[in-house]
Amino acid sequence: MTELSNIRNFSIVAHIDHGKSTLADRLIQLTGTVAERDMKAQLLDSMDIERERGITIKANTVRIEYPAKDGQTYTLNLIDTPGHVDFSYEVSRSMQAVEGSLLVVDSTQGVEAQTLANVYQAIDADHEIVPVLNKVDLPASDCERVAEQIEDVIGIDASNSIHISAKTGVGIPDVLEAIVTRLPAPKGDRNAPLKAMLVDSYYDAYLGVVVIIRVIDGVIKKGDRIKMMKTGGQYPVEKLGVFRPQMQDIAELGPGEIGFLTASIKQVRDTRVGDTITTEKKGCETPLPGFKPSIPVVFCGLFPVDSAEFDDLRNAIEKLALNDASFSYEMESSAALGFGFRCGFLGLLHLEVIRDRIEREYNIELITTAPSVVYHIFMKDGEMIELHNPADMPDLSKVDHLEEPRIKATIMVPDEYLGDVLKLCQDRRGVQLDLTYAGARAMAVYDLPLNEVVFDFYDRLKSVTKGYASFDYQMSGYQEDQLVKMQILVNDEPVDALSIMVHRTRAETRGRAMCEKLKELIPRHMFKIPIQAAIGGKVIARETLAALRKDVTAKCYGGDATRKRKLLEKQKAGKKKMRQFGRVEIPQEAFISALKMDD
């Protein structure tokens, strides 16, 4: 049992690639939590895809014992959080479980958009924040400038920030001392009824559902019967423990401690993140406030290339949903693609990660339809329906108006690229809300429609700023606009996977661009294929893919011209019939490439 005054719970927050996971590695290494022979880079990033992309996707916890200079041994509970905007949901709930944060800022890059977003979450959770300037071993490091920037942009005193290099290990002992001396100890009452917060849960093939908890009051022991206050489920505790990154069993968890339990829970769905766990008898009265549920913002259809793999895809999606509470799905069918699932994600990176995991871990080839956002459609009879898939658009004569989701985007960019960024936002129907400067960097705040951002805004932003801009957004609400559904017809048949919602003023240019692109991507057939973009019954753009020619007159030499004409007429009739019954095969790449907007 650890004294409350000797516990410190903290998380590491930073922008992508500012060195969170590397700092976590050094803290684990310096305190000897993991034997030297077992150390590896990014120790806490356990998924293959995390290691490959060099990003953190799931927040991970680890318990470290640290003998401080004052002679006491402290228990430090560290949560390493993701930096990407798509996983900010993971960050927000990690914040609720700890009392302080290390704010890691790259001393060569300075404050970035995601640094701001994550540090504001820490401030909202009432954290004590210790600024840490990383990468001081690089020649471009400028700690004074970055410390000033932290004070100007975030408004935190950075005069006593710690200068470290997580790669070489410089300054790491100072970080450990600062955690002990500058971060507060948790509060809690050991004798009160049990009150614990459910921070996260995941499915383990051997143990069932593993629940990560933070105990606020009371004590939880092996064999206790616990109750989830939101779902009402009751379970006996079978195993209690802490992560040192590997699981280690312990007898009890007291106030202020972070650990895990297993209790023969079958599905992750039974464990709502943010729920309050108490004992079945003499439980606590009031639950904790909990977290806001994560709301999917991007939807897309996932279909197996081989329709016989549909059942495998269903199993794969169900297993992934076990581990990822922020991912939602429902079945759908499409005339062109057969049976599949309509899935909801927190953003495009989240979509890519899930798609990669299905393809890699379950070996299923997928077709992904155009990502779309959720529109609100107000009918003339006063009813409001949510539209997740443009192919399900109701009859326009019954629709009063449409509303689309808007976001508030914060873009940090070096001065010389500001013009290009403003133009990009203007092109995407953005409204400028604010423009401020912090040193040689501008911070632009824009109100943008989410459907303009969702596909390739981030790629475009990176390319016009040579990779120097950083971008973060939050949902700001819905707004009415002139939106129409544009269909693509190939050989006079609508391809529902390519239906998209566009702004009326943009429809013609987008339609023409998509038709031109499809003309390059669809292989030629023996008959000519019209490719059209249409709004309702009106065709707004058209390209024609020429037929492959076979010279049927090759065997005629000299002689009568009518013989040649007769053969050509016969061929023409054959092609016409072929076109009538022919199915045009659209390759998988065409779906994705056709939707990327190259401005």
Both tokens of residue 57?
A: 């996707």
Contact between 104 and 27 under an 8 Å Cβ cutoff? The reply is no
Q: What does the alpha-carbon distance between residue 261 and residue 253 come to, in Å, rounded to a whole number? A: 10
Tokens found for residue 448? 């943008």
| Alpha carbons 277 and 564: distance in angstroms, whole number | 85
Tell whether 161 is in a known binding site.
Answer: no
Secondary structure class of 330 (helix, strand, coil): strand
Distances 117 to 110, 407, 410 between C-alpha atoms, Å: 14, 14, 9
Helix 310-323 to helix 348-361 angle, to the nearest 10 degrees? 120
Q: Output the six-digit token pair for 442.
A: 């501008």
Q: Is 21 annotated as a binding residue?
A: yes
State yes or no: 519 annotated in a binding site: no
Helix axes 88-96, 113-124, angle to 10 degrees: 30
| Residue 539: both structure tokens together | 């065709």
Distance CA(422)–CA(411), nearest Å, equals 10
347 is in an annotated binding site: no
Distance of CA 128 to CAs 8, 101, 185, 400, Å? 11, 6, 11, 50
Label residue 515 exposed, middle or buried (CB < 10 Å: 0-12, 13-18, 19+). Answer: buried
Does 6 belong to an annotated binding site?
Answer: no
d(CA 169, CA 233): 46
CA distance 295 to 288: 21
Q: Is 46 known as a binding-site position?
A: no
H-type alpha helices, 287-401: 310-323, 348-361
Tokens of 340: 């599949």
Task: Tell me the residue length of the chain.
Answer: 599
Cβ-count burial 460-476 (b if 16+ within 10 Å, e if not)? bbeebbeebbbbbbeee
- 350 marked as binding residue: no
Helices 172-182/20-30 angle, 10° precision:
90
Residues in CB range of 292: below 8 A, 6 or more apart? 92
The DSSP bridge pattern shows strands 128-134 and 60-67 to be unpaired
User: For the residues of 22-40, what is the DSSP string, one character each?
Assistant: HHHHHHHHHTTSS-GGG--
Structure tokens at 227: 């109750």
Q: Is 566 annotated as a binding residue?
A: no
Q: Residue type for 76, please?
A: L
Give the annotated binding-site residues.
17-22, 134-137
Give the annotated binding-site residues for GTP.
17-22, 134-137
